[in-house]
Amino acid sequence: MPDAPKIEVRTAPPDHIAALVSSGTHPLLAQIYAARGIQSSAQLNTDLRGLIPFAALTNVERMAALAADAIAAGKKLLIIADYDSDGATACAVGVRALRALGANVDYLVPNRFEYGYGLTPEIVALAKQTKNPDVLITVDNGIASVDGVAAANALGMRVWVTDHHLPGPALPEAQCIINPNQPGCNFPSKNLAGVGVMFYLMLALRAELRTRGVFATRAEPNLASLLDLVALGTVADVVKLDDNNRLLVAQGLERIRAGKTWPGVAALLRVAGRDARRASTYDLGFVLGPRLNAAGRLDDMSRGINCLICDDDIEATRMAQELDRLNKQRRAIESDMHEDAMARLDTLYVSDDYSLCLFDETWHQGVIGILASRLKERLHRPVIAFARGNSGEIKGSGRSISALHLRDALDLVTKQEPDLIIRFGGHAAAAGLTLRETGFARFRTLFESAAKAMLTPVDLERVIATDGPLTAKFMTLDTAARLEQAVWGQGFPAPTFCDIFEVLKQRIVGGRHLKLRLRKGDGEFEAMLFGQSESLPDRVQAIYRIGVNEFNATRSLQLTFEHWQPA
């Protein structure tokens, strides 16, 4: 197993902290923001007028004009969605906005077990047979669908690709492509999620229809009403929260907290027991996202999309309850797979390995991505987990550490042995691929070689970055509430602190968690350590976050340990 992690304290230029404080930012937040690269209060502005203009996204105005023409001609549009939270929210944004803008639009989402990812020739054939659309619009996929687009063209359907994934060596011959990561696109934020790309297209389409005078005789839709969906997909897809994405997420959270959210989002929060008035990025990423993803992992993502586009509160609640049930089932499957993998880890992994690839014919195809993520966090190595697919194939889902670009590593394997990987796609942190089962051992060898070529031993050292000690004046309920309301996520991590505590009391709750009473200086604090029932020593150095615990209508400060070691 890896050595104990190295603990580092984030630093920030004092002049940046001072500038933020002088502009009215809370002193602790100023320090935290400056340590994440914020130099001025302008970067914290969440006014929609600060959004990067849609015209900066290459081809978006051309696609908007094509869409306006199609609406005017009464063409049938069909969205081809992806089966994760980003794809589901992007699809919901597209369906809601296009219908509000007068389009004849429907959607189709591939079942991951039958069709796999993206616009494949098989999905094109199914779309033609069941929906017979004039135009296919991909969301959160399509940039690598060379064969699928060719199949659609051959059947007389136009294809518009909206995606954010990295392109392969050749772009599909679609009628139009918008993707901030396609060659030649100078959009300042390369981190838009698929739902963000679709939202930008809808902004451009509304502007195009406005220019054509369409709203002279009917009301113009308020696209800001879609920002709760944009925020959910952006956070759940774990894209980097740069200034533009943080603005989108902040606006979405503001609408949720104000009760201006769609019935499906409200229902998902309700069945999870979360208070919409206090909704946070944690809720989007770890409460709503998994429940939405469960549909695509275990069943059919149309369940999740239907929940998001439903306008009836009672029906939305019923759908949300079903998604909650699927998520509980997913967690049980994941737990069994994780226990199985951990039991075999000593035989699968040695400390000199730079990567881990593992395959089990009993594992569930929809949960291997979560398993890879858990093992990556534990080992601080790139991990790819495989499950059995169809016709002698296995499907893999990988997660990587920051030092290794996973899609580039798979590309390197393909260059070494072109026929080994049947298909692959993804980005730096996550990727999916398909192999023949007979090629697994060879792939594992080549992927390990690629990892060794792209990483150094220093890259494999697990480092936990913290915001240092938390002074007594900030160990308050007010501070915790401020931190919970801020926007945190990938590339802009929620603050954690590092201090030494005396353990006064500890007891097991829920069978596998520790509830703690701690002392630091003159103060005493309640804390939780989840997933551990073994007793702690009398003194510990802990990395922790602070939050608000609400029980029986009483709110109190609670610390949550993320790592500890003897002091």
- Residue 309 Cα distances to 94, 461, 478, 489, angstroms: 10, 45, 36, 26
At 3 the pLDDT is 63
Q: Could you give the 3-state DSSP secondary structure of residue 133?
A: coil
Q: Do domains 57-325 and 464-566 have the same CATH topology?
A: no
At 201 the pLDDT is 98
The CA-based angle 345-350-353, given to 5 degrees, is: 115
Structure tokens at 510: 């829920």
Give the residue carrying structure tokens 């990025």. Answer: 281
List the domain boundaries for the chain. Answer: 11-38, 57-325, 349-460, 464-566
Give the residue carrying structure tokens 């899609």. Answer: 407
Widest distance between CA atoms in the chain:
75
* Angle separating helix axes 302-309 and 313-348, nearest 10 degrees: 140
Quick: pLDDT tens for 270-282.
Answer: 999 999 999 999 9
Beta partners for 497? 544
The CA-based angle 387-421-390, given to 5 degrees, is: 40
Q: What is the dihedral of CA 45, 48, 51, 54, to 10 degrees?
A: 180
- Report the mean per-residue pLDDT for the chain: 94
CA-wise closest residue to 91 among 140, 39, 142, 20: 140
At 1 the pLDDT is 46
Determine contact, residues 458/529, Cβ cutoff 8 Å: no
Residue by residue, DSSP assigns 37-72 as: T--SGGGG---GGGSPPGGGSTTHHHHHHHHHHHHH
Determine contact, residues 159/172, Cβ cutoff 8 Å: yes
CATH of segment(s) 349-460: 3.10.310.30
Quick: pLDDT tens for 376-410.
Answer: 998 999 999 999 998 899 999 999 999 999 999 99
Residues with pLDDT less than 70, the chain: 1-3, 348-350
Structure tokens at 190: 């390369």
Structure tokens at 199: 């939202």
Q: How far apart are CA 146 and CA 310, in angstroms?
A: 33
Instruction: Report the CATH architecture of 57-325.
Output: Alpha-Beta Complex (3.90)
The count of other CB atoms within 10 Å of the CB of residue 317 is 19
At 349 the pLDDT is 67
Give the residue carrying structure tokens 């709760």. Answer: 228
Quick: pLDDT tens for 92-136.
Answer: 999 999 999 999 999 999 887 777 788 999 999 999 999 999 999
Q: Could you give the 3-state DSSP secondary structure of residue 466?
A: strand
pTM above 0.85, yes or no: yes
CA-wise closest residue to 433 among 390, 476, 473, 398: 398
Indicate the fold that domain 464-566 takes in CATH.
Answer: OB fold (Dihydrolipoamide Acetyltransferase, E2P) (2.40.50)
